[in-house]
Structure 1
Amino acid sequence: MSTGYRWHSIRLRIALLTALVSAVTMASAFLVIDRRVAEDAREQLRRSAIADLAAAVTIYEATGKVRLGASVDPDLGPDPLREADLTEMTSYYDGRTMWVAHRVAGDGPTLTLAVPGEPIDRQRRSLRSAFLLAGLVALGLTAALAAAAGQSLSRRLRRAAATATRIADGGTDRIRDDRGRDEVAALSRALDTMADSLTARVAAEAAFSADVAHELRTPMTALVSAAELLPPDDEASRLVGNQVARLRRLVDDLLEISRLESGQDPTDLAPYRIDELVPEGDGGSTALVLADPRRVERIVANLVDNARKHAGTEPRVVLSGTSVTVEDDGPGFSADLLAHGPRRFHRESKQPGSGLGLTICDRQAAAMGARLVLANGPGGGGRATLELSPAP
C-alpha cells in the first residue's frame, strides 16, 4: 500500500475519529471529576479546620490560653474574613489557605486559625497525573481497537475495489462476501451481481458475434466467388469487389476474435531471437523471448496496417530489448483509447475499417502472456509497443 493511500485510508480515519471522541470524553470527565474532588477536599479541609478552632476556643474559654495553632491577632486573616460577622464559626478559602475565625462569647477576642491547602494541591496533582496516565493508556487501547476494527472494514473494501478493477479489466473473479449483513456485504453482493450480469452480457455479445461471423462464412464464400466472375475492367465490378473484400476481412476478424476470446486458438510458445521474429525491425536487439511466431507476425502486421491507415505515412518498427514498437507520425491515439484500451468496433478516425485491428493485437498478445501498450510520443504520433516475455 502506498504512503498516500495509507494516510487516506478509512482505517486511519476511524482510529483518529475514535481517538478524538475518546479524548474529548475523557477530558470532559476529567474536568468534572477534578472539580468535584477539589470541592470535596476543600470541604474536608474546612471541617477539619473548624473542628480544630472549636477545640481551641474551648481551651481558651477554660484556661485563657491559645492552643492548637490558633491566634488572637486581630489583623490576621484575609479581609473578607475580618469583615464578616464572627459570632458564628466562619471560614474562607483564598486558594492556598483555609481560614476559620470565631469571636469568643461576650467581649472576648477573635480566634483565627490558618490551615495550609497544600494537601489539596498535592492530592489534585496526584489525581491529575494518575488520570493523565490512565487516559493515555485508555486512548492508546481505544485507538488500537478502533484500528483493528477499521482494518477489517478497510480490507473488505479494498478487496471489493480490487475485484471491481479486475472485473473492469475483463476478469471473472468475484468477492463472494455473503456472510455479513452490513453495508460492505451489501456492496459486495451488488458488485457480484453486477459482475455476473456483465459477464453474461459480454458472453452473449461474444457468442452473437461468433454466430454471425460463422453464419456469414457460407454466403461470404459465395459472394467472393461471384465477385471474381465479374468483368475485371468494369468500375462497378471493382467497387463490388472492394466491398466484398472488406466484408470478408470483417468476417475473418470476427472469427479470429471469437477464437481468441473462447480459447479455441492454441498457442505454441518457444524461445526465439526477437530480430528473427521481426526481421524488418530496427534497433539491433537480439534478445531471446518466449513467443509464438504466428501471433507475433499477426500483431506486427496489424499494427503496421493500422499506422498506415491513420498516419498516412510508412511507420517505423523498432526493436528494443524484448519489445517491438511500431511508431508513426500521425495524430496519435485518442485519450479514450489510451484510458480504456482497444475495444471491438471502436475506431480512432473516419478511416475505413472495422476497428477490430487493435483488439486482435491485444487479444493475440494476451494469448502469449505478452502485453500491448499504447502511448503517444512526446513530439506527436502513436507508439504501439508489444512487450514480450523474456525466455527463461
Structure 2
Amino acid sequence: MRGYFRRLVAACVDRAGIGAGLRWKLSAAIALVGALVAVVLSLVVHNAARVSMLDNARDLADERIMIAQRNYEMSGRLNFPNTKIDDPRLPKELREKAEAGRRATYVTDRSGAPDIWAAVPLKNGHVMSLHSGFTDRSSDILTDLDQALVIGSIAVVLGGSALGVLIGGHLSRRLRKAASAANRVAKGETDVRVREAIGGVVRDETDNLACAVDAMADALRQRLEAERRVTADIAHELRTPVTGLLTAAELLPPGRPTELVLDRAKAMRTLVEDVLEVARLDSASERAELQDILLGEFVARRVAAKEPDATVHVVHESEVTTDPRRLERVLFNLLANAARHGRPPLEVTVEGRVIRVRDHGPGFPEALLAEGPSRFRTGSADRAGRGHGLGLTIATGQARVLGARLTFRNVRPAGAPDGVPAEGAVAVLWLPEHAPTNTGSYPVLT
C-alpha cells in the first residue's frame, strides 16, 4: 500500500506540470481575455464617438441649410458658402427626399473620409444643397481617441499579463510546496503536514487540497500502523508454538519423515523471525550501533563464511562507520537472493563505500526494478519462484537504518534493446560518507 501511495503521488506531480506551466498559462489566459475585452471596448468607443461626431455634423449642416434657404428666399441669390442649386453630385437618396418636400441630411464615405450633405426643397421647385466634409478638428479628435484606445489596450494586456504572472506564481508556489510535502509523506516522513508546508493562511482550493492530502496520509498512516501491529502480534504469537514444534520435532526418531518435519519447522521459524524484523523496521524504531570497520576485509570474511564459492574483489579499501550486524544482514540477504534465484558465478565487489553483488541469472523482475522490493511478492517464476519475498525487503529496511541506499539493476549487453534477456542481476549498496546520526543511531564504545 505504501508503494502504491508513493507511485500515485509521483504520477500526480508529474502530470500536474506545476513548474512554470501554470504561471504562464494563467498569464496568457488573462492577457488574452484582457486583449479581447480591450479590442471590443475600443471598437465600441470608436464607433460611438464617430457616430456622435457625425450626428453633430449633420445637425450643423441642417442648421446651415435652413439659414441658406431663408437668405436665398429673401435675396433671390446664393450668398452662403458650399451651397448650390440642383447640384448634380447630390446623392440620389437625398434628392428623392428633397423632391418629396422634405428637408434631410445624408452622409457618404469618400476614401474613408465622410462627406456631409444637406438638402431642402425651394418654393420654385428647385433643390438647394449644402456639401461639407468632416472637419479636421473632428478627424484629429477621432485620431487622438484611437491612439488613446490603443495605448489603453496595450496597458490592459500588459497589466493583465503581469497580474496573471503574480497570481499564477503564487498559486504554482503553493502547489509546488504541496507536491514536495506530499512526496516527503510518500517517502515515509510521518511528521510532514502538507497544509503547514504551503502556509494554511489563504483559504482557497490549494488549502482544501492540502487538507485532503493530510487526511489521506493520516488515514493511510493509521492503516499501515494497524497492519504492522497485527502482523507483529501474529508473528509474536506464532513464535512460541513454532519453537515448541521445532523442539518436539528434534525429539522424533531419525528418518526421512523427521527430516521433512524439521525442515518445515525451521522454515516456519525463519519466516516468523523475518516477519517480526519487517514489523520492527516498519515501526522506524530501529537504531544502528555504529563502529569503525575496514569494509573490504569485513565483506571478504562474511562472504567466505556465507558463500565460499563467491568471488570477492576489493578494488579500493576504505574505513567506514556503520553497524556491522546490520551490514552483515544486508550482505547475507543479497547473497542468499543471488544464490537462490540467480546462477553462478557470484561476484562481490568492494570499491570505497560501495558494495556490488552480482549473479549471472535471468535478472530481477521488472516490477521490482520499477517499484522496489515488496513483501510476500516474489516476482516472476524464472527468478523468484521460491521464498516469501522478505529477503530484499529486509535488506532495504536495514540499509535505510544504516543511512545507505540500495539499488537494483539488470545487466544486458551493450546497446541491446529492452527485450533482450538479462545476463545477470546487480544489487548495489551505497554506504553514506558520514555516520547516519540523522536516523537516531549512536556509536558503540569498544
Q: TM-score, normalised by structure 2?
A: 0.75
Residue among 14, 36, 45 paired with 1:33: 45
Listed as ranges, the matches of 1:116-265 within 5 Å are: 116=134, 119-172=137-190, 173-176=192-195, 183-232=205-254, 234-265=255-286
| 2:36 corresponds to | 24
Contact 2:334 2:395 in 1 (8 A): yes
- Number of residue pairs aligned between Structure 1 and Structure 2: 390
Instruction: Name the CA distance, whole Å, in 1 between partners of 2:88 and 2:108.
Output: 16
Contact 2:98 2:119 in 1 (8 A): no
Corresponding position: 1:67 with 2:83: no
Higher deviation after alignment, 104-113 or 343-352: 104-113
TM-superposed deviation, 1:329: 2.6
Instruction: Name the CA distance, whole Å, in 2 between partners of 1:6 and 1:220.
Output: 53
TM-superposed deviation, 1:321: 5.3
Cα gap change, 1:340/1:171 in structure 2, threshold over 3 Å: closer, same or farther? farther
Higher deviation after alignment, 355-364 or 374-383: 374-383
1:278 partner amino acid: V
| 2:9 corresponds to | none
Instruction: Name the CA distance, whole Å, in 2 between partners of 1:33 and 1:224.
Output: 96
TM-superposed deviation, 1:7: 7.0
3-state SS, counterpart of residue 266 of structure 2? helix
3-state SS, counterpart of residue 132 of structure 2? strand
Contact 2:61 2:130 in 1 (8 A): no
| 1:43 corresponds to | 55
2:271 partner amino acid: L
2:355 partner amino acid: V
Cα gap change, 1:333/1:119 in structure 2, threshold over 3 Å: closer, same or farther? farther
2:322 partner amino acid: A
Cα gap change, 1:228/1:10 in structure 2, threshold over 3 Å: closer, same or farther? same
1:205 partner amino acid: E
Contact 2:85 2:126 in 1 (8 A): no
Instruction: Name the CA distance, whole Å, in 2 between partners of 1:138 and 1:43.
Output: 31
Higher deviation after alignment, 342-351 or 355-364: 342-351
Contact 1:309 1:351 in 2 (8 A): no
TM-superposed deviation, 1:359: 0.9
Corresponding position: 1:387 with 2:430: yes
Instruction: Name the CA distance, whole Å, in 2 between partners of 1:201 and 1:151.
Output: 36
3-state SS, counterpart of residue 284 of structure 1? strand
Instruction: Name the CA distance, whole Å, in 1 between partners of 2:352 and 2:152.
Output: 63
Cα gap change, 1:211/1:81 in structure 2, threshold over 3 Å: closer, same or farther? same
Instruction: Name the CA distance, whole Å, in 1 between partners of 2:89 and 2:39.
Output: 40
Cα gap change, 1:129/1:284 in structure 2, threshold over 3 Å: closer, same or farther? same
Cα gap change, 1:352/1:93 in structure 2, threshold over 3 Å: closer, same or farther? same
TM-superposed deviation, 1:357: 0.6
**Can you give the 5+ residue segments of structure 1 that lack an aligned partner in the other structure?**
none
Contact 2:239 2:272 in 1 (8 A): yes
TM-superposed deviation, 1:171: 2.8
| 1:333 corresponds to | 364
TM-superposed deviation, 1:303: 1.0
| 1:5 corresponds to | 17
Contact 1:14 1:147 in 2 (8 A): yes
3-state SS, counterpart of residue 83 of structure 2? coil
3-state SS, counterpart of residue 245 of structure 1? helix
Cα gap change, 1:287/1:30 in structure 2, threshold over 3 Å: closer, same or farther? farther
Deviation string 1:29-53 (CA, Å, 9 cap, x unpaired) is 3333322222111111111222333
| 1:94 corresponds to | 108
Cα gap change, 1:140/1:274 in structure 2, threshold over 3 Å: closer, same or farther? farther
Instruction: Name the CA distance, whole Å, in 2 between partners of 1:303 and 1:329.
Output: 14
Q: CA RMSD in A?
A: 3.3
TM-superposed deviation, 1:113: 2.3
Cα gap change, 1:281/1:92 in structure 2, threshold over 3 Å: closer, same or farther? farther
Instruction: Name the CA distance, whole Å, in 2 between partners of 1:269 and 1:44.
Output: 96
Corresponding position: 1:368 with 2:411: no
